[in-house]
Amino acid sequence: MTAVAATRPPGRLKRVFERYPFLPAFCIFIVLLALNGVFSPASLSARGLTGLLSTYLALMLLAIGQTFVVYASDIDFSNGAILSLVNVVIIVFMEQMGGSGLSVTAALAVGIGVGLACGLVNGIVVAALRLQAVVATFATSIFFTGLALYVLPVAGTPAPRLFWRTYGGRFFEVPFVVFAALGIALIVYLLVRTRLVTRLLAVGDDAQAAYQSGLPVTLIRIGGYALSGVFAALAAFCVTGDTASGDPLVGAKMTLFGVAAVVLGGTALSGGFGTVVGSALGAFIIGLINALVYFVGTPSQWQNLVQGLVILIALMLGIMVSRRARA
Amino acid sequence: MIKNTSIALATAVALAASLATAHAESYKIGLSNGWVGSEWRTQMIDEAKAAAAAWKEKGVDVEVLVQSANVDVPGQVAHVRNFISDGVDAIIINPNSPTAFDPVFAQAKDAGILVIATDSEVSSPDATYVGIDQTGWAKASAKWLAETLEGKGKVVAINGVAGHPANEMRVAGYTSVFEEYPDLEVVNEVNGNWDQAQGQQAMQNLLATYPDIDGVWVQDGMAAGAWKSIMDAGKTGDIAATGEIRKDFLDLWVANDLNSGAAVNPPGVMASALNVAVFMLKGRELKEPATAGQYGNALYLPIPFIDGDNVAKVHEELEGKPGYYSYTSQLSIDEAEALFK
């Protein structure tokens, strides 16, 4: 280690890391992918990878949305509940409007609207009313869950065939989820170049300095929450496509996995530093860990425990590497 | 020399392997359970594993792969996807949702995998349900209660989680039975969320509000709690109430000579489903196609019943089992075979 440090100009690793903060996550991702392939070769087949993508696309979207909030050193503990709410709203909407192409499109628009509205509520509560982000979004999550239970009290109600056949289907021999992932990649590529995202990072880096330099800090933070709400709605579309039904509690357990994915991806919860690519990788790391725990043949009574341990180890590895690199 | 030996060895191994496959049938079956909150589920998995091992005597190798963890619906969808990747021959699932698995079951079927749901029915046309009829389960104990009360008196009901599909089927079951007895009045229905403490609390409240009730229809997982309240109120001899199938409750039942009856939802359902699955994998056809139930894909198993007549015998059978052990029953391999042509 010292020999390496001596031959290289100091700070080179640091510069590489600053340019690509998701590098540790990327390495963990590749290692996990390889391990999955070793223990279950079929999991790396086209079918296996498509399955992984369609299952964890929703978590990836939640994590991406969370990243924008975390950029400004806020947190959104309600995006899982927003996911549930959008899921049941579009299911009920499509059921009442019939399963035609037009009603599906309209349902998606309504879903985005609901996600955006929830995000704005969060933003106003946290940034404008200045309530503590952790507690405030926890409270709004209970409120959104209550709304979801009001809209659809019992899990069930099938989605129109058109909806889930599209999500699980293929176009020109390529699975739809691959197009969805590419579409999301394009949106994110354009989004991270917008002024809003740069300003979110500035606020997270030093809110006081941002304010003193004339940035509308409150509006910027509300913008972060709005993005998180919209991405939760997109995640809800994926869950609806994958499960073809409504469930008012479906997203509850996903919130914290989303936060874990953000941290796994190298984004600092203290704000001002991180990447969206890392969060997306983080979501797939969690998915690969869940699959790997099973593929190595962990006895059923230990599966929860081992899964938790491995996520913890992955977090530790990532944080240790990034600390060393940034020190 | 070394090379030659290793080639010879490899050939021998390959030969042995092909001989083994030629002589023994072997199947890989994935078991998925999405909730680990009760001993009943643990017992369900253990019995299914034992049933798989029992096929060895019949010359069939059944390898089971288990995924059992507290997961949300997407998590259990991932269970199914893992099984598809692993190339299993059949998947047996205790599903967390009745409707959410339609797409992934369709994918499993496309991959040539047999899908069987147990304990909770699913809407997918690509799966078969092998288990008890939850409505019939409720009807059996409601009928016992109505007949024990000779068709007249005041009854209360304590239910599980409002909105849960199994709970709704059970409510429909007892409601339809009680409607047949015009002199039987259901004075109140409450929810105890399948929790013993809440069941006990609910029963206390009910006894305070309606001191003159004659019967209680209470779901399993809460009946022991409800009975505790009845005994604390000194009404053991005056009230007939449904019971449950755990060893610790049967101890209480026999020791206090309770006036109780319990329809059995046996943890052996997954083992029964496994035995049925193996015959399906062998390419055998059901005598009666599985077309029962609201989704038209169910094969219902018999529901045993425990009441005053056989409780002593049942209790004896469970001698030495731990308190959380549930009375069980399952289709043996021969009983399962009798369902096939």
pLDDT beyond 70 at B133: yes
Interface contact B45, partner A, CB < 8 A:
yes
pLDDT beyond 80 at B180: yes
For tokens 């021999």, the residue is: A173
Query: How far does B75 lie from chain A, in Å, by closest CA?
Result: 8
Q: Do B68 and A300 touch (CB under 8 A)?
A: yes
Q: Do B165 and A164 touch (CB under 8 A)?
A: no
Q: Is residue A167 part of a domain?
A: yes
CB atoms within 10 A of CB B28: 17
| Tokens representing residue A55 in the block | 């299952």
Residue B97 has a pLDDT of 83
Query: How far does A240 lie from chain B, in Å, by closest CA?
Result: 9
Domains and CATH numbers, chain B: 25-132+269-307+321-337 (3.40.50.2300), 134-263 (3.40.50.2300)
Q: Is residue A24 part of a domain?
A: no
pLDDT beyond 80 at B23: no
d(CA A236, CA A83): 5
Q: Which of B65, B85, B165 lies nearest to residue A48, judging by beta carbons?
A: B85
- Give the rounded percent of residues in chain A with a pLDDT score beyond 70: 96
Residue B14 has a pLDDT of 53
pLDDT tens, B49-70? 999 999 999 999 999 999 988 8
Taking phi over 0 as left and psi of -120 to 50 as alpha, with beta for the rest, B90 belongs to beta
For tokens 């969690």, the residue is: A286
CB atoms within 10 A of CB A295: 21
Mean pLDDT value across residues A101-114: 94
Q: Is residue A260 part of a domain?
A: yes
Q: State the angle between helix axes of A217-243 and A176-191 in degrees (0 to 180), rounded to the nearest 10.
A: 180
Query: How far does B72 lie from chain A, in Å, by closest CA?
Result: 7
For A238, the domain range is 54-321
Q: Is residue A23 part of a domain?
A: no
| Residue with more model confidence, A47 or B307 | B307
d(CA A260, CA A283): 8
User: How many folded domains does chain A comprise?
Assistant: 1
| Residue with more model confidence, B281 or B34 | B281
Residue A253 — pLDDT band, cuts 50, 70, 90? confident
Residue A6 has a pLDDT of 45
Q: Which of B42, B75, B103 lies nearest to residue A244, judging by beta carbons?
A: B103
Q: Do B165 and A154 touch (CB under 8 A)?
A: yes
Q: Is residue A35 part of a domain?
A: no
Interface contact A167, partner B, CB < 8 A:
yes
Residue B9 — pLDDT band, cuts 50, 70, 90? low
Residue B7 has a pLDDT of 56
Q: Is residue A275 part of a domain?
A: yes
Amino acid residing at A308: G
ipTM for the whole complex: 0.77
CB atoms within 10 A of CB A222: 22
| Residue with more model confidence, B112 or B5 | B112
CA atoms within 13 A on the CB side of B42: 10
d(CA B30, CA B307): 36
Q: Is residue A37 part of a domain?
A: no
Residue B86 — pLDDT band, cuts 50, 70, 90? confident
Q: Which of A242, A301, A303 lies nearest to residue B74, judging by beta carbons?
A: A242
Q: Which of B42, B81, B97 lies nearest to residue A51, judging by beta carbons?
A: B81
Residue B10 has a pLDDT of 56
Residue A4 has a pLDDT of 45
| Residue with more model confidence, B61 or B23 | B61
Q: What is the mean pLDDT of chain B?
A: 90
The CATH code of the domain that includes A146 is 1.10.3470
Strands (E), chain A: 156-158, 170-171, 174-175, 245-246
Q: Do B78 and A291 touch (CB under 8 A)?
A: yes
Residue B22 has a pLDDT of 46
d(CA A2, CA A18): 21
Q: What letter does residue B327 receive in the DSSP assignment?
A: P
d(CA A149, CA A152): 5
Residue A125 — pLDDT band, cuts 50, 70, 90? very high
Q: Is residue A2 part of a domain?
A: no
